[in-house]
């Protein structure tokens, strides 16, 4: 089963950061301190939200889950006046077609393990299963993870992230 140790998470995060800089993208590594789980990848962009066409700012964090030993995708969106989107608004914006009974299992509000504020997140309980479905282990599990989960919340990596540069 695909899991990630903390040192592996850190080194793959730095790899992703390198590719991002080379491609002129703006991923950042936020290091709160050097304790396990307290550094995470951050990405921000603006989206136009469905019906009202208003701009929202979405911030994504790729955080390490110590108990599940996998990356977890946390995110938070705010409007131009600074107000945050709550869970219902988030579901309406990102997954308007999915019935609520399914959504609560996958995409809910959880406390950010490093920042201790409520964030939206994909629950990590099935992540290792999903990451293991390819048979061979990925050279960068974070890139695989983001490319699998990201699109559901409009976080897309350009194909160049997957190019072999060695």
Partner 1 sequence: MSECNEQILQFAPFESFVSPTFWHKLAELKLDYDRLSDAERSVFGHYTNRKASGCLLEVDYSAYNSAAQPPKFSHAAVGTIYNKNTIEEFKALDKTALLAAEGKRLLADMKNGRVLNDASLLARFTVLSFADLKSHSYYYWFAFPCPLTPTLRLHCDPLRLKGLPESSRYIDAICALPAESQNFFILYANEEQMLWETRSLSGFNEQEAEHYYYCFADPSEYENPAWLMRNYVAFLLQQCPKLVGQTLKFMGLRYDQQMQLDNSLIWQVSQAEPCDYEQVQFVGWELNRNGKMGPRMVNMRDSMDPAKLAENVINLNLKLMKWRLVPDLNLEILAATKCLLFGAGTLGCAVARNLLSWGFKHITLLDNGKVGYSNPVRQSLYTHADAVAGNRMKATTAASRLLEINPSTVSKGFVLEIPMLGHTIGESLRSQTEEHLKLIEQQVQAHDVIFLLTDSRESRWLPTLLGAAHEKIVINAALGFDSYLVMRHGSNREMVGDVIQEIDGLKCISGQQLGCYFCNDVTAPGNVSNQL
Beta carbon of residue 43, minimum distance to partner 1 (angstroms, whole number) = 12
Number of H helices, E strands in the chain: 5, 6
Nearer to partner 1, 32 or 139 (CB): 32
Beta carbon of residue 17, minimum distance to partner 1 (angstroms, whole number) = 12
- Crossing angle for the helix pair 141-149 and 6-22, to the nearest 10 degrees: 70
Beta carbon of residue 136, minimum distance to partner 1 (angstroms, whole number) = 30
What is d(CA 131, CA 77) in angstroms, rounded to the nearest whole number?
26
Nearest to 66 by CA among 117, 14, 5: 5
Structure tokens at 102: 């399914």
Site residues (CB under 8 A) for partner 1? 23-26, 28, 45-46, 48, 55, 57, 78, 80-84, 86-87, 100-101, 104-105, 108-109, 118, 158
């Amino acid at each position: 089963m695909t899991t990630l140790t903390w040192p592996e998470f850190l080194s793959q995060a730095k790899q992703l950061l390198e590719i991002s800089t080379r491609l002129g993208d703006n991923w950042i590594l936020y290091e709160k301190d050097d304790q396990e789980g307290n550094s995470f990848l951050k990405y921000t962009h603006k989206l136009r939200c469905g019906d009202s066409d208003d701009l929202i700012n979405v911030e994504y964090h790729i955080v390490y889950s110590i108990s599940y030993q996998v990356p977890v995708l946390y995110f938070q969106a705010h409007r131009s006046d600074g107000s945050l989107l709550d869970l219902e608004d988030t579901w309406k914006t990102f997954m308007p077609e999915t019935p609520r009974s399914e959504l609560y299992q996958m995409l809910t509000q959880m406390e950010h393990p490093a920042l201790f504020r409520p964030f939206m997140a994909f629950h990590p309980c099935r992540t290792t299963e999903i990451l293991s479905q390819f048979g061979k282990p990925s050279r960068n599990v974070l890139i695989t993870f983001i490319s699998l989960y990201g699109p559901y919340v409009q976080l897309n990596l350009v194909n160049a992230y997957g190019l072999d540069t060695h």
